Amino acid sequence: MSESNDLSQHILPTSAQLVGVCMTVISLIKVMHLGHAGSLLDKLLAIDALLFTISAALSYASMRGVKSSIFEKYADQCFMLGLLELGICAVLLSFEII
């Protein structure tokens, strides 16, 4: 296995796990009945889950494909964007709960 795929080996399982985290938080928001703020948060988290899914798919393609460095770069960018959005959602959710 080449060195360029090392990052993808970390992105793939972490992205897949974070999709589950997003889905769990969406479920919790629905149970808590947060109203308009909850509706906004669940949409943001759904987009976030999609970003993590794309990141996981790209990192898998990076490990399997010919143009691995390009796929890995995009997987990393989607992953970082997803983390940023997840952090923003966490702050918004914490303010809504307080």
pLDDT, one tens digit per residue, over 14-43 is: 999 999 999 999 999 999 888 888 889 999
pLDDT tens sequence across 54-89 = 999 999 999 997 778 899 999 999 999 999 999 999
Does residue 5 have a pLDDT over 70? Answer: no
Q: CA separation (Å) from 86 to 2, 18, 31, 62, 95?
A: 31, 9, 19, 24, 14
Q: CA separation (Å) from 67 to 1, 11, 64, 74?
A: 14, 17, 9, 11
Does residue 1 have a pLDDT over 80? Answer: no
Read off the pTM.
0.88
Least confident span in 2-6, 49-53, 69-73: 2-6
pLDDT score of 68: 85
The alpha helices in the chain, defined as continuous H runs, are: 6-32, 36-64, 68-97
Sequence-separated (6 or more) residues with CB below 8 Å from residue 31: none
Does residue 98 have a pLDDT over 50? Answer: yes
Residue 2 Rama label (left phi>0; alpha psi -120 to 50; beta):
beta
pLDDT score of 67: 79
Sequence-separated (6 or more) residues with CB below 8 Å from residue 17: none
